[in-house]
């Protein structure tokens, strides 16, 4: 097996460093056929694109993609693919203690595979897989288990493995590959529908903005002669106002001077009235 991990965060170096809430788990044995009739060949190339731990592979939408834990390390031991992981959800921990979520299930995609005919039916055998999430489940497809340390991994015991062809419950119900694909297609379809609606709204908003920009450009593109004519009319109106104000000012000055002379004459007349009476 060639294992390539690309985990950006939540790096865990060793199982002893997991601390509280830390676990070691078995995802599958290489060459083991699952209840979904899939198998990862022993020399397959395993790549990792995500470190999320979910519950039953479920999340309603991309915005509600909230893992209950994180994977710290993927590694191979005794022909099996193991992980070290931690759980931070109290609800998930309680369900794990109660046995409701007692197993692991891995989601992957891969283009390199072939279909092999076996005595029990066809098997999809993968030469390369890309893991994008692992889930806590109640009914696994592979013979999986987890514990707080490697010594407690019962599904690695040859006797247990011999009795359980697949699934830790030895014949218990499992989620079919078709169901899993349909579930992810449904989520993807809903998200694409929401995205298409957002794109439609953006197109409508862009159309409105484009129309407003066109109107502004049309206003800016008015003929220069019209603009000049409007400016000349405004200037003429200002000149007329200035002329009226200037004329009125001159008239007011003349009126004030006439009033001054009239007051002077009136004052002289008033002073000469006694003399006129005597005469």
Domain range summary for the chain, segments of one domain joined by +: 2-175, 223-271
Torsion of CA 78, 83, 139, 52, to 10 degrees: -160
pLDDT for 243: 65
Q: Count each helix (H run) and each strand (E run) in the chain, helices first.
A: 4, 10
Between the CA of residue 143 and those of 65, 153, 245, what are the distances in Å?
A: 27, 11, 103
pLDDT for 44: 93
pLDDT for 171: 37
pLDDT for 124: 94
pLDDT for 87: 93
Q: The tokens of 225 are what?
A: 């002669």
pLDDT digits (tens, 9 = 90+) for 186-205: 655 666 676 667 777 877 87
CATH of region 2-175, choose from 3.30.1330, 3.20.16, 3.40.50, 3.30.70: 3.20.16
Q: What is the pTM of this model?
A: 0.55
pLDDT for 174: 42
Q: Are 146 and 23 in contact (CB under 8 A)?
A: yes
pLDDT for 263: 66
As a whole number of angstroms, the distance between CA 115 and CA 222 comes to 72
Q: Which residue has the tokens 């889930």?
A: 135
Residues of the chain under the 70 pLDDT cut: 1-21, 158-192, 194-196, 217, 219-228, 230-231, 237-279
pLDDT for 68: 93
Q: How do strand 38-48 and strand 2-4 relate by DSSP bridges?
A: parallel
Sign of CA dihedral 194, 195, 198, 200: negative
Q: Residue 16: CB partners within 8 Å, gap ≥ 6?
A: none
Q: The tokens of 147 are what?
A: 């514990």
pLDDT for 250: 63
Q: Are 109 and 130 in contact (CB under 8 A)?
A: yes
As a whole number of angstroms, the distance between CA 277 and CA 258 comes to 28
């Amino acid at each position: 097996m060639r294992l390539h991990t690309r985990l950006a965060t939540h790096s865990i170096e060793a199982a002893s460093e997991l601390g509280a809430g830390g676990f070691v788990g078995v995802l599958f044995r290489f060459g083991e056929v699952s209840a979904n009739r899939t198998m990862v060949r022993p020399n397959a190339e395993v790549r990792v694109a995500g470190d999320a731990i979910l519950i039953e592979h479920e999340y309603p939408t991309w915005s509600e993609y909230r893992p209950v834990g994180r994977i710290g390390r993927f590694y191979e031991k005794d022909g099996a693919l193991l992980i070290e992981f931690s759980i931070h959800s109290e609800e998930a921990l309680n369900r794990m203690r109660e046995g409701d979520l007692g197993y692991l299930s891995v989601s992957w995609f891969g283009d390199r595979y072939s279909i092999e005919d076996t005595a029990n039916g066809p098997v999809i055998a993968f030469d390369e897989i890309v893991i994008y999430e692992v889930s806590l489940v109640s009914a696994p497809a592979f013979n999986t288990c987890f514990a707080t340390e490697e010594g407690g991994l019962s599904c690695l015991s040859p006797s247990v493995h011999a009795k359980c062809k697949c699934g830790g419950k030895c014949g218990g119900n499992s989620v079919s590959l078709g169901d899993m694909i349909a579930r992810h297609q449904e989520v993807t379809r809903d998200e694409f529908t929401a995205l298409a609606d957002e794109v439609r709204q953006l197109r409508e908003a862009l159309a409105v903005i484009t129309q407003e920009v066109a109107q502004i450009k049309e206003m800016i593109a008015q003929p220069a002669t019209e603009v000049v004519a409007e400016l000349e009319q405004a200037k003429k109106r200002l000149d007329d106002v200035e002329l009226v104000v200037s004329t009125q000012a001159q008239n007011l000055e003349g009126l004030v001077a006439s009033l001054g002379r009239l007051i002077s004459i009136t004052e002289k007349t008033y002073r000469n009235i006694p003399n006129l009476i005597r005469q």
